[in-house]
Amino acid sequence: MEKKNEKEMIIKIAGDEWEKLLDEAFKKANRKAKIDGFRPGKAPKNVFIKHYGKESLYYEASNRAIEVAYDKLLEENENLEIVAEPDVTINSIDDTGVEFKFTLTLKPEVKLGKYKGLKVKKDKVEVTDEEVAHSIEHMREHYKENVTKEGKIEEGDIAVIDFEGFKDGKPFDGGKGENYSLEIGSHTFIPGFEEQLIGLKAGDEKDLDITFPEDYHVDDLKGQPVVFKVRVNEVKQVVIPELDKDFFDDLGMEGIDSKESLEKQVRENIEAQKEKQAEDKWSDDLLEEVAKTTEMDIPDAMISAEQSRMVREYGQNLQMQGISLEQFYQFTGMSEDKLKEEYKEQATKRVTYRLIMDAIIKEENIEVDEKEVDKEIKDLAQKYNMTEEEFTNNFGSEMIRYELKVRRVLDILKGVKEK
């Protein structure tokens, strides 16, 4: 029985078309067949079938037939708006052909609510002096240097040390290091270690009496007293650059040659970033408002497809950091199902907003001509330092066309009048 927004369709592949697929399956299977008197791939078809049976070819042939049947379904039903991967079952299969039942998820009907004259305001954007100062301080931190210093170790310095830990007079695993750079005050080592280095200088040696915390991750060392023998090889001072000519040259920002010009540029950058965030939030707030009065029955398959898409996007982002999804699951105890569940609310919102925008595009009869698409591709290709051909091959002109239509929809929601 068909559910709402679902359609069942029967497609049969038979006759010569099916025989051709069976023949392709035979050629593939025959390459691995072990039949006395014949080398792999050399047995005649009638010998192969006598040995293995024609049914042995059904699985491979039906897999290929699914693609053929689905292409035929799409060709014969161009008006259908299919929004998720179809569910496919085999009704029957034999020498004469294979019959599939496709359960299609169709785009749901959307009854638009109010989408013009909405009383949703955009957040005001403000940039404080504190935000500008914090951003500049972060830039200075980025260009900090570790400079060798004479004299004693102080809080914030970096001590380059050799160390070895002993419990009951014997060295323990993981307690040794050479030329280790330790920032004093970073609390990288167990409590008491860094503090006892303060006041030492390069060349000094000292035995540090340390007691491991009760919750330490190594059972043999929990709450145990140990001695670390330490030698200081070098002391480095962290030097944060002043706002001077050398710093401005290092930044390499055009037109920045003074504290005032840097503050002005940083303020503009923060303002632009906040403006973008405010615009994005306004768009979401407007779509959320439209959704309150819009009626639609979203198929579960659409939400599931969006969840899978979001997991793939997350995996691609992790890959750029050199981490695979499998490693992420292992490190965090997460699983694909758990990650999908976390994305469910956001996926539902994405699908809802997309359906609303599609409905407004249709209602407003929004069209985008080729000149607009070409101009957008040209602008974006320049922005991402790509040729127009490379950009089009990567993203496709239809995606750009849709994005331009969405932009028009958002202008309508915001009450922006067309030029």
CA 87 to chain centroid, in Å, comes to 27
Q: What is the pLDDT of residue 35?
A: 87
Q: Quick check: 201 and 232 in contact, CB under 8 A?
A: yes
How many CB atoms are located within 10 Å of the residue 139 CB? 17
Q: What angle do CA 111, 116, 119 make, to 5 degrees?
A: 115
Predicted pLDDT of residue 251: 87
Q: Give me 51's structure tokens.
A: 């040995």
What b/e string do you get for 344-353 counting C-beta neighbours within 10 Å, with b at 16 or more? eeebeebbbb
Question: What CA–CA distance (Å, rounded) separates 313 from 147?
Answer: 42
Low-confidence ranges of the chain (pLDDT < 70): 1-3, 418-419
Distances (CA, A) of 371 to 388, 389, 402: 14, 16, 14
Give pLDDT, residue 39: 84
Report pLDDT digits (tens) over 181-235: 999 999 888 999 999 999 999 999 999 999 999 988 888 898 999 999 999 999 9
pTM: 0.73
* Domain 145-239 belongs in CATH node 3.10.50.40: yes
Domain boundaries, the chain: 6-106, 145-239
Of the candidates 35, 111, 32, 102, which has an alpha carbon nearest to the alpha carbon of residue 69?
102
Relative to beta strand 97-105, strand 6-14 is antiparallel
Q: What pLDDT does residue 253 have?
A: 87
- Residue 2 has a pLDDT of 56
pLDDT attached to residue 4 = 80
**6-106 domain in CATH 3.30.70.1050?**
yes
For 169-183, how does the pLDDT look when each residue is reduced to its tens digit (9 = 90+)? 999 988 899 999 999
pLDDT in tens, 90-127: 999 999 999 999 999 999 999 999 999 999 999 999 99
**What is the pLDDT, as a whole number, of residue 1?**
53
Check for a shared fold between 6-106 and 145-239: no
Q: Cβ distance 226 to 165 under 8 Å?
A: yes
Q: What is the pLDDT of residue 218?
A: 84
pLDDT at 418: 60
pLDDT in tens, 154-167: 999 999 999 999 99
